[in-house]
Chain A
């Protein structure tokens, strides 16, 4: 049977760059699903996109579904043949209707009874038929972040569709979508090769488009664009400041990967902070910065949708716009500096942080109070603690500035720059500058301790308020982005070993007391504290899992925090315990002891159910067998060593001492029956096991570990 490559190209008006990769992936998945459901064998698929097209090519697709035998069932046997075995009118009618001879039918046993049946050839459904019937409904299932209607207003898609190329080898596959009928006519770059032109076959589609100025392979387009941006910057004596996100976007707003480097007045490099300059170029012009040996050069690089600039308009246009934008940014930067940052605090009374949680002024007051408490808990000197509090007071004062209004992504950074210009201490300025770090998993932490404590206070306040206001994340939604906020809080707390998040969360909730955000919230903030703590422990687990920890290891560590009223949660400490566990886990003694810990836990749980009393160290005088006496002695040693090692923060050594209990625990379980008839002896043995349980719970809860076999 014939196989050939299948090519489908949807030609559209310009689709937004942010939607392109997902749309091409969806289209590919839908077409493959169509082929697979019909049982059409095919090879691998590749997808393509530019602003004006979504396409896919599937290698070696079968031209028709494979032939197979199928059973055609007619009337029941009793009605199909008369007593003489001759076909009745019923069978003859059925045979005629299905285009066969009555003689082709025979008796067939089915679960429902005996019927007249015939074996017929099926399959062989052509690819063209499958696609003609299925393509439009499949595309109709594609969804986009923003869809539109056009023309008569009936069809809905991301943008109007203007042409469809659908080729099976060199044959046209007849498709129709939104009133557009497929063919072999495509269109190229609006200037370099508009067309329409004909594509001879599926295999020559990509090179044909290239000849008409369109690079359809997104990865190739990106690579070519990157190479050009780098080369052009180098030709001007600079180095491109790379920005992967901007490069992704730039490659998807052009069909042909061209680039230009433009200049602006050198004084902007001196007069504007590099951060502001960079944001201005990126936000307004999708421009890359160009670096020299010391600092930025008065140059920018941009993607353009053509290889050349025949009359110099392209570069000149960009230069003009860039200089206007830089002029604007400089205006804001100068204006914003006419008033000290601190003087803008009053404006925060009018800026809502979150409807339920009041204004930024209220948030600032809460964060300043919490930051001071955290600085105290972290043992900062009075001066350093005062700097944290000062940074907190100023932390949001950049929100009403013109610069942040123009470049929201400069929040924090802008405040830091203005604080420095105001002559605030460097620690204060730097802490504000870093306020939004980390916002993504790969972001660095704030550079200073003051910055980390401020960041933690800011996030804990958001979390406490968010939970109190009923904005806690659920399975499917996280309207307030609290998961990310929680992850940031954990990463910040990890850098500050003395911080107890359990206490800090209670402190954060207390910040909502005092009625500024309403009495309901005050009360609820206290009630939701346990849920918030649980959420943070879970975030800790997510971070540990990303670091490669296994789920049972995480559970063993988390068991020290979760469900224990008043237990502290020091992420840094817990992280060390987990690291020790991961280092130590694979030793034989350790795994065996983990199994024993589980057994101990079960025995004690059963004892609890029955009401058998016990308490560590109680009635040990009653112990009489050598194995239990030895275990009691070994426990004594282990407890001392464990306490000393744990106090020194050496959890590996602590675990090593616990692991040494293994032979004595094994012997105990081999020889001793815990549930003796003598209640005093039973109590003594349970009490001894309670000490074992405590020891195996000393660093992490070993009973949570999953032990093979």
Chain B
């Protein structure tokens, strides 16, 4: 598994990508990383790649399901503007992972991505290999409610899926993460790294999470984000009176994760769900507007 991360990082570094690190907040997908959300906006070119642990509380299975987990690892690449040969680049990156497209059936099947909370939408495909989805391939069209031009393309690799398929592994927890001569088997597996967290985080989001506390924290994160976005008072060191965009966006991500936990906990009715999605989207849209207005994007 770690060889895949290294191989993809090498491959995309050689093609001019900034090899970044995961964003240190709970997120549901690599798209929410600050270096994807904000850098997609505005005219400035951008290329970045990183591996993002992605939490989806409702997908947790207590570490018992061989395919579904609370947290999985997305390798994410952003190329802006989308290069004409991006499909060929993607196929070449599979070769770098040890997958030879010549002996597989690799197809691009329509799958248009949408993130109601980020106010984002894109057009593209799920890439399947021999019938199994291994990647999402998306031309972003809108982010934070803003139409994008130039258009970024996002490539997202499901690392566990690819690793399992290539190595004929049936249980995600059997994935060898790293060779380790010091370890009993000579290998550290996904199980050693993830099983306990999977079990406990599943129990937490399905059974234990304090619903009222999460609701209050959601309201608090929203209020704080609004306050930071509306900031007009200069700080003590005399900086310009401007919104504090990065901390505001971090509060938005917190709200989004709290919302996901409440969903997994079964605490949200249909209408409440819709209302909360809208509240998060309003903040995300406000963040995007603030970024664009400040001209940060052209920097």
Residues of A near any B CB (own CB < 8 A)? 13-14, 16-18, 51, 146-154, 160, 162, 190-191, 253-254, 285, 302, 304-306, 310-311, 313-318, 320-322, 324, 350-352
Secondary structure of the B contact surface, majority rule: mixed
B143 to chain A, nearest CB (A): 12
A154–B147 Cα distance when bound, in Å, is: 11
A147–B112 Cα distance when bound, in Å, is: 11
- The 13 sampled A-B contact pairs (Cβ below 8 Å) are A148-B151, A149-B139, A150-B82, A150-B153, A151-B150, A191-B101, A285-B131, A311-B103, A313-B104, A314-B105, A317-B132, A318-B132, A321-B131
With A153-B81, A153-B150 as contacts: A310 and B139 at CB distance below 8 Å = no
Please determine whether B130 and A318 come into contact, CB atoms closer than 8 angstroms: yes
- Residue in A149, A151, A322 whose CB lies within 8 Å of B84: A151
Assuming A51-B108, A151-B81, A162-B84, what are 9 further A-B pairs, CB within 8 angstroms? A17-B110, A149-B141, A150-B82, A151-B83, A190-B106, A314-B130, A317-B105, A318-B130, A322-B131
With A13-B108, A150-B82, A310-B103 as contacts: A317 and B165 at CB distance below 8 Å = yes
Query: Any chain A CB within 8 A of the CB of B123?
Result: yes
B131's nearest neighbour on chain A, judged by CB, is: A318
Please determine whether B139 and A148 come into contact, CB atoms closer than 8 angstroms: yes
B214 to chain A, nearest CB (A): 20
Please determine whether A305 and B105 come into contact, CB atoms closer than 8 angstroms: yes
- Residue in B101, B107, B132 whose CB lies within 8 Å of A253: B107
Please determine whether B105 and A321 come into contact, CB atoms closer than 8 angstroms: no
A322–B132 Cα distance when bound, in Å, is: 9
Please determine whether B110 and A16 come into contact, CB atoms closer than 8 angstroms: yes
B149's nearest neighbour on chain A, judged by CB, is: A153
B269's nearest neighbour on chain A, judged by CB, is: A350
Please determine whether A151 and B151 come into contact, CB atoms closer than 8 angstroms: yes
Contacts of A315 in B (CB 8 A): 130
Query: Any chain A CB within 8 A of the CB of B67?
Result: yes
B281 to chain A, nearest CB (A): 20
Please determine whether A152 and B150 come into contact, CB atoms closer than 8 angstroms: yes
A335 to chain B, nearest CB (A): 13
Contacts of B151 in A (CB 8 A): 148-153
Those of B257-280 within 8 Å (CB) of chain A: 269-270
Those of B133-187 within 8 Å (CB) of chain A: 139, 141, 148-151, 153, 165, 170
Of B103, B104, B107, B130, the most chain A CB neighbours within 10 A belong to: B130
With A150-B153, A305-B107, A351-B270 as contacts: A13 and B130 at CB distance below 8 Å = no
Please determine whether A253 and B105 come into contact, CB atoms closer than 8 angstroms: no
Residues of B near any A CB (own CB < 8 A)? 67, 81-84, 87, 91, 101-110, 112, 123, 125, 129-132, 139, 141, 148-151, 153, 165, 170, 269-270
B120 to chain A, nearest CB (A): 14
A464–B107 Cα distance when bound, in Å, is: 46
Please determine whether A306 and B105 come into contact, CB atoms closer than 8 angstroms: yes
A158's nearest neighbour on chain B, judged by CB, is: B123
Please determine whether B123 and A146 come into contact, CB atoms closer than 8 angstroms: yes
A152–B123 Cα distance when bound, in Å, is: 15
- Residue in A162, A317, A352 whose CB lies within 8 Å of B131: A317
B166 to chain A, nearest CB (A): 9
Of B81, B104, B109, the most chain A CB neighbours within 10 A belong to: B104
A303–B109 Cα distance when bound, in Å, is: 13
Please determine whether B107 and A321 come into contact, CB atoms closer than 8 angstroms: no
Please determine whether B270 and A350 come into contact, CB atoms closer than 8 angstroms: yes
B166's nearest neighbour on chain A, judged by CB, is: A313
Contacts of A321 in B (CB 8 A): 131-132
Please determine whether B110 and A316 come into contact, CB atoms closer than 8 angstroms: no
B109's nearest neighbour on chain A, judged by CB, is: A253
A324–B87 Cα distance when bound, in Å, is: 28
With A153-B148, A191-B101 as contacts: A14 and B108 at CB distance below 8 Å = yes
Contacts of A147 in B (CB 8 A): 123
B45 to chain A, nearest CB (A): 11
A151–B140 Cα distance when bound, in Å, is: 11
A307 to chain B, nearest CB (A): 11
Contacts of B83 in A (CB 8 A): 151
Please determine whether A190 and B101 come into contact, CB atoms closer than 8 angstroms: yes
- Residue in B84, B102, B125, B150 whose CB lies within 8 Å of A191: B102
A37–B104 Cα distance when bound, in Å, is: 47
Contacts of A148 in B (CB 8 A): 123, 139, 141, 151
Please determine whether B103 and A320 come into contact, CB atoms closer than 8 angstroms: no
Please determine whether A317 and B84 come into contact, CB atoms closer than 8 angstroms: no
Contacts of A17 in B (CB 8 A): 110
Please determine whether B165 and A320 come into contact, CB atoms closer than 8 angstroms: yes
A315–B91 Cα distance when bound, in Å, is: 21
Of A150, A253, A320, the most chain B CB neighbours within 10 A belong to: A150
A284's nearest neighbour on chain B, judged by CB, is: B131
A178 to chain B, nearest CB (A): 10
Contacts of B67 in A (CB 8 A): 324
Please determine whether B101 and A316 come into contact, CB atoms closer than 8 angstroms: no
A17–B109 Cα distance when bound, in Å, is: 8
4 nearest interchain CB pairs?
Answer: A317-B130, A153-B149, A16-B110, A148-B123
Please determine whether B148 and A302 come into contact, CB atoms closer than 8 angstroms: no
- Residue in A51, A151, A324, A352 whose CB lies within 8 Å of B82: A151
- Residue in A14, A51, A154, A304 whose CB lies within 8 Å of B105: A304
A351–B271 Cα distance when bound, in Å, is: 10
Of A18, A154, A160, A315, the most chain B CB neighbours within 10 A belong to: A160
- Residue in A13, A154, A306 whose CB lies within 8 Å of B87: A13
Contacts of B103 in A (CB 8 A): 310-311, 313
With A152-B149, A350-B270 as contacts: A146 and B112 at CB distance below 8 Å = yes
A52 to chain B, nearest CB (A): 9
A670–B101 Cα distance when bound, in Å, is: 90
A91–B125 Cα distance when bound, in Å, is: 65
Contacts of B112 in A (CB 8 A): 146
Please determine whether B131 and A150 come into contact, CB atoms closer than 8 angstroms: no
Contacts of A253 in B (CB 8 A): 107, 109
B24 to chain A, nearest CB (A): 31
A18–B112 Cα distance when bound, in Å, is: 14
With A304-B105, A350-B270 as contacts: A313 and B131 at CB distance below 8 Å = no
A159's nearest neighbour on chain B, judged by CB, is: B123
With A146-B112, A148-B139, A151-B82 as contacts: A314 and B91 at CB distance below 8 Å = no
